A and B are shown apart, each in its own frame.
Chain A
Amino acid sequence: MQLLITILLDGLTYASYLFIVSVGLTIVFGVLKILNVAHGAFYAWGAYASAYAITYASDMEYADWIGFVCIFLAAAAVGLVLGMIIERVILRHMYAQDEVLIALATFGIFLILEDVILLVFGVNPYFAYQPMALLGRIPVGGISRDVYSFTLMALACIVAFSCWWGLTRTKWGKLISVVIYDREISQAMGINVSMVYLIVFVIGAGLGALGGAYVAPTLSVAPGFGIDVIVLSFAVVVIGGMGSIPGALIGALMVGILRAVAVHKMPELELFVVFAVMAGVLIIRPEGLFAPAKARTI
């Protein structure tokens, strides 16, 4: 019973952070049709920025809750600055190219950003444990667990809800679905498509950074931070269906729980399970389990 609870909570925690990262990736793919390898770099940047800000705040002996403000500020700053620069300077000129070639270009951006991290933040790892220590631990079913991981789950729920609400209940959401449906027609109807692209990319980058920023306190933030995350979130996005937000949710839950089961029961299979499921889904349903229905254009 205790093992079951542990597996479930570990799985959910892991799924929450995977979801936050992957939802950014899937939104960008859904709208811009870009498979963004650089997303892993946004994640790493978010983690570094928040860890740096938190350590700085605690060195200045600000109140501990400032750490949480730091996390969100860091994510927003990374999303805005990096997202804007990359979309405006590089990706904008590539939309006419082949999808896979754009993916390769984002791989180049990924390599560049990885090293700029080292140049800006140095090679030593950061430990920004303060926000996690502030919340303490509570016993759940006889096992003591961090409160912080529960706030992570709550954050994932908030992100999921705001994405759903934003896309279905606001004017901007409508505009975005129109652009997904048919880019040319929406441009002809007077929608500023290039602006929509920019905003969506910034939001996607910000979500990737938020994922990194929020898990930074639970890990040591060290070089090579984004390499594993990017393929894992690819797996999540592919399982759920590229471009689908509910798909990202289901995919993240599947990957998170499967991985937690594997870690506790058969540690050798930890990574194998995730990618075997990814390959299996691609073989059986290439569009993913919950792909949005394709719009028919003439």
Chain B
Amino acid sequence: MLQILRSDKTVRWTLFGFFVLAIAGNFMPTWVQNNLMFGMARGLAVLGLMVLWRTGLISFGHALYFGIGAYAVALADKHFGVSDIFVRLILAMGAAGFVGLCLGFILRKYRSIFFAMLSLAFSMVLYGVLVKVEALGSTDGFSVSATSILGWTPESKYTLFCAIIVACATSACMVQYYLKTGLGALTTAIRDNELRVEYLGYSVAKAIHFKYIISAALAGASGAMMAMALGQVDPDSMVNWTVSGELVFITVMAGPGSVIAPFIGGVVFEFLRTYAFELAPHAWQLIVGGTLLAIIFFLPMGLWSLLERIWVRKGSSS
């Protein structure tokens, strides 16, 4: 595995980029740091969705895993006082991954609009429970206490910022590695022709199932990060269908080109939202929705394809 990672250009660039960002974060104003943190955290879920999208599947229900991750952190904090970042992440990813494993048995048989609808239904079941059950915080949700690392509770948010960046870099590299393996490479092939993939001796259902679990665990981690960064969980901003919509939106905006794209997309989305909100408090959705339409129409391969184009032009002229 290390051999592949060492020789991979994307991995090197990813690590370098995240390293620079972690250092630069120290000198940024708090609001920029916060936005980057939220964008990165969301990017984790988008990374998982990107793996699914390459296979031709769009899930309108990943708020389910996002919410499970966030609520795993909040509930463990409330009932057992768990505040360690590693325990929190493992809990969130474990819970989300397990639910993904179970639901995957059903979902792996579904494609296109049915896949989207069934995942939407599952996520809305969780939403319905969370909103109405008092013990789970109802519409108000919970607050989440400050995160500690191995018993040490840092004072500034910069530590959490770095932790999120480390988690993002690790996941990006692991997904990059996974996409290079035999099973992982079965993405576009499945989208283009499932029957042929089956003839080649691979099980399409198993490949999709595994990708689904990966995306679920990543969304869980993303929800956990978001809960820690915000210090608050609630159903409407974590589990409602609009959250799934936002995640899919970022996926399409970022494009399927690279494992770095989701994080760029997440950060761009966060800044887009902040600026749109400042520019027009009652019309930020208008700006966000307009951007979505513009990207679907003019940049079907997302922002990453734009970067790639600039890159290639530079390469050819020099």
- A interface residue numbers (CB < 8 A to B): 35, 37, 90, 93-94, 98-101, 103-105, 107-112, 114-116, 118-119, 123, 227, 230-231, 234-235, 238, 242, 267-276, 278-279, 282-283, 286
Cβ-based interface call for B101 (8 A): no
Contact of A99 among B113, B133, B248, B252 (CB under 8 A): B113
- Contact bitstring B279-291, A, C-beta under 8 A = 1, else 0: 0001111101110
Question: Does B125 lie within 8 Å of A90, measured CB to CB?
Answer: no
A residues in contact with B242, CB < 8 Å: 227
Is chain B's interface secondary structure helix, strand, loop, or mixed overall?
helix
Question: Does B121 lie within 8 Å of A271, measured CB to CB?
Answer: no
Question: Does A114 lie within 8 Å of B285, measured CB to CB?
Answer: yes
Contact of B292 among A111, A267, A274 (CB under 8 A): A111
CB-nearest residue of chain B relative to A110? Answer: B289
Question: Does B117 lie within 8 Å of A238, measured CB to CB?
Answer: yes
Interface residues on B, range: 35 or more
CB-nearest residue of chain A relative to B191? Answer: A98
Cβ-based interface call for B127 (8 A): yes
Contact of A279 among B125, B132, B252, B285 (CB under 8 A): B125
Question: Does B286 lie within 8 Å of A115, measured CB to CB?
Answer: yes
Rounded to whole angstroms, the CA-CA distance of A230 and B296 in the bound complex is 22
Rounded to whole angstroms, the CA-CA distance of A257 and B116 in the bound complex is 26
Cβ-based interface call for B131 (8 A): yes
| Residues of B254-301 whose CB lies within 8 A of A | 282-286, 288-290, 292-293, 296-297
Cβ-based interface call for B118 (8 A): yes
A residues in contact with B127, CB < 8 Å: 271, 275
B residues in contact with A238, CB < 8 Å: 117, 121
B residues in contact with A272, CB < 8 Å: 125, 128-129, 132
CB-nearest residue of chain B relative to A273? Answer: B128
Question: Does A108 lie within 8 Å of B114, measured CB to CB?
Answer: no
Question: Does B113 lie within 8 Å of A103, measured CB to CB?
Answer: yes
19 pairs across A/B with beta carbons < 8 Å? A90-B293, A104-B292, A104-B296, A108-B249, A110-B289, A114-B285, A114-B289, A115-B284, A115-B286, A234-B117, A242-B113, A267-B132, A268-B132, A269-B132, A270-B132, A272-B129, A273-B128, A275-B124, A276-B125
Cβ-based interface call for B4 (8 A): no
Question: Does B113 lie within 8 Å of A35, measured CB to CB?
Answer: yes
Q: Which of B106, B120, B128 has the largest count of A CB atoms less than 10 A from its CB?
A: B128
Question: Does B125 lie within 8 Å of A104, measured CB to CB?
Answer: no
Q: How far is the CB of A117 from chain B (nearest CB, A)?
A: 10
Extra contacts, 18 of them, besides A104-B248, A111-B289, A273-B128 (Cβ < 8 A), are: A35-B117, A98-B112, A100-B113, A104-B252, A107-B248, A107-B289, A108-B292, A108-B296, A111-B286, A114-B285, A118-B283, A231-B241, A269-B132, A271-B132, A274-B128, A275-B127, A282-B114, A282-B117
Q: How far is the CB of B235 from chain A (nearest CB, A)?
A: 10
B residues in contact with A107, CB < 8 Å: 245, 248-249, 289, 292
Instruction: Give the 6 A-B residue pairs with the shortest CB-CB distance, closest first.
Output: A271-B128, A111-B289, A108-B292, A115-B286, A272-B128, A112-B289
Q: How far is the CB of A216 from chain B (nearest CB, A)?
A: 21
Q: Which of A37, A115, A242 has the largest count of B CB atoms less than 10 A from its CB?
A: A115
A residues in contact with B252, CB < 8 Å: 101, 104
Q: How far is the CB of A6 from chain B (nearest CB, A)?
A: 20
CB-nearest residue of chain A relative to B283? Answer: A115
Cβ-based interface call for B178 (8 A): no
Question: Does A231 lie within 8 Å of B116, measured CB to CB?
Answer: no
Rounded to whole angstroms, the CA-CA distance of A37 and B58 in the bound complex is 15
A residues in contact with B113, CB < 8 Å: 35, 99-100, 103, 242
Rounded to whole angstroms, the CA-CA distance of A94 and B113 in the bound complex is 16
Rounded to whole angstroms, the CA-CA distance of A107 and B296 in the bound complex is 12
Question: Does B124 lie within 8 Å of A278, measured CB to CB?
Answer: yes
CB-nearest residue of chain B relative to A93? Answer: B297
Cβ-based interface call for B19 (8 A): no
Question: Does A279 lie within 8 Å of B122, measured CB to CB?
Answer: yes
B residues in contact with A282, CB < 8 Å: 110, 114, 117-118, 121
Q: How far is the CB of B135 from chain A (nearest CB, A)?
A: 10
B residues in contact with A268, CB < 8 Å: 129, 132-133
A residues in contact with B289, CB < 8 Å: 107-112, 114-115
Rounded to whole angstroms, the CA-CA distance of A77 and B121 in the bound complex is 32
Rounded to whole angstroms, the CA-CA distance of A274 and B133 in the bound complex is 16
Rounded to whole angstroms, the CA-CA distance of A282 and B114 in the bound complex is 8
Question: Does A108 lie within 8 Å of B293, measured CB to CB?
Answer: yes
Q: How far is the CB of A86 from chain B (nearest CB, A)?
A: 11
Question: Does B110 lie within 8 Å of A286, measured CB to CB?
Answer: yes
Question: Does B120 lie within 8 Å of A286, measured CB to CB?
Answer: no
Question: Does B296 lie within 8 Å of A105, measured CB to CB?
Answer: yes
- Contact bitstring B112-150, A, C-beta under 8 A = 1, else 0: 111011101110110111011100000000000000000
A residues in contact with B249, CB < 8 Å: 104, 107-108
CB-nearest residue of chain B relative to A41? Answer: B289
Rounded to whole angstroms, the CA-CA distance of A152 and B44 in the bound complex is 46
Known: A105-B296, A112-B285. A286 touches B122 (CB 8 A): no
Rounded to whole angstroms, the CA-CA distance of A111 and B297 in the bound complex is 16
